[in-house]
Structure 1
Amino acid sequence: MELPNGHLEIRPAMDRMRESVFGVLGDLSGLSFLDLFSGSGIIALEAASRGANPIACVERDRAKFPILLQNVAIAADQRIECKAQPVELFLLRNKAAFDVAFLDPPFPYAYRLDLLKAL
């Protein structure tokens, strides 16, 4: 798993939290998965390891996006599609429904409730 050096704010999901979330979700075989504010992509990769298909990652920060792409490339998983755009724009333009959506916005993100309504 690649993480950037320096000042980039990437918050890899903590192991314990990730285990808890995916413990509740269980087997994701055949379920579509949306990872908003993907960061390093660890959540999407975990979803892939549990059978999710297809998987969409959306990361608005163009400085973080290359790290996401690099980690997905390392996993060589064709089920994962990555988009570099604001999550709000993705939700507006994307008409596909997802079975599972995971959101981990940065702490200062002011539009959490609006984002939930858009889902």
Structure 2
Amino acid sequence: MRVISGSLKGRRFSPPKNFKARPTTDFAKENLFNVLNNHYTIENLKVLDLFGGTGSISLEFASRGAKEVTCVELNYNHFKYILKNTEELGMKPVIKVIKGDAFKFIERSAETYDMIFADPPYDLKNSETIPDLIIKNKLLKSDGLLIFEHSGTVDFKSHPNFIENRENGKVIFTFFKA
């Protein structure tokens, strides 16, 4: 895996072989950030990355100038890996890594974010409720954007906050407005 653009452009990192996360592919990540760059200014955004996995998305946002990135990851080994990379790449001032359950974080957080990226495991029970929980708990600022990564087994086109889908092979990014 690599950071695609920004201050860390080209930096590579490889999670350990026993890593259980399904990282967003570089191809899908590059396509996602091309879309975001055409419609949004990432610099100075306050971003939430739920189900951090490898931390790749958090690093990409930080590398591109996000002012603050909060990364939530439940798995202890993944949390430690994200923390280690954040420190080694000098992104600790920008990226705050939290070991915790994303559902509980959504319920309890009093913060609001300009952009939220959620990439739960595809087989995670109740993952399709995440967009509604984020909107109900008002985690997005009034002009905020939620990006939900999922497989093709879920369809959000009739959701009242749906904006669009972007498909990258088997990976689908669904965009929601606040």
Please confirm whether the aligned pair reaches a TM-score higher than 0.5, indicating the same fold.
yes
Query: Structure 2 unaligned runs (5+)?
Result: 1-12, 135-178
In structure 2, give the amino acid aligned to 1:60. Answer: L
Q: In the TM superposition, what is the alpha-carbon distance from 1:89 to its structure 2 partner? A: 1.0
Superposition RMSD on alpha carbons, in Å?
A: 1.2
User: Which of these residues, 131, 148, 152, is aligned with residue 116 of structure 1?
Assistant: 131
Report the TM-score when normalising by structure 1: 0.92
Q: Is the 8 A contact 1:3 1:10 kept in 2?
A: no
SS at match of 1:45: helix
* Structure 1 segments of 4+ aligned residues over 2 angstroms from their partners: none
2:74 is the alignment partner of 1:60: yes
2:20 is the alignment partner of 1:5: no
Q: Higher helix proportion, which one?
A: 1
Supply the distance in 2 between the matched residues of 1:4 and 1:110 (Cα, whole angstroms): 26
In structure 2, give the amino acid aligned to 1:98. Answer: Y
Q: Higher strand proportion, which one?
A: 2
Report the TM-score when normalising by structure 2: 0.63
Greater relative contact order structure (CA < 8 Å, 6+ sep): 1
In structure 2, give the amino acid aligned to 1:55. Answer: V
SS at match of 1:33: strand
2:44 is the alignment partner of 1:30: yes
Deviations 1:38-80 (A, max 9, x none): 1111100000111111100000112321111111111111110
SS at match of 2:77: coil
Larger radius of gyration: 2
Q: In the TM superposition, what is the alpha-carbon distance from 1:2 to its structure 2 partner? A: 4.0
**1:45 equivalent in structure 2:** 59
**2:111 equivalent in structure 1:** 96
**1:17 equivalent in structure 2:** 28
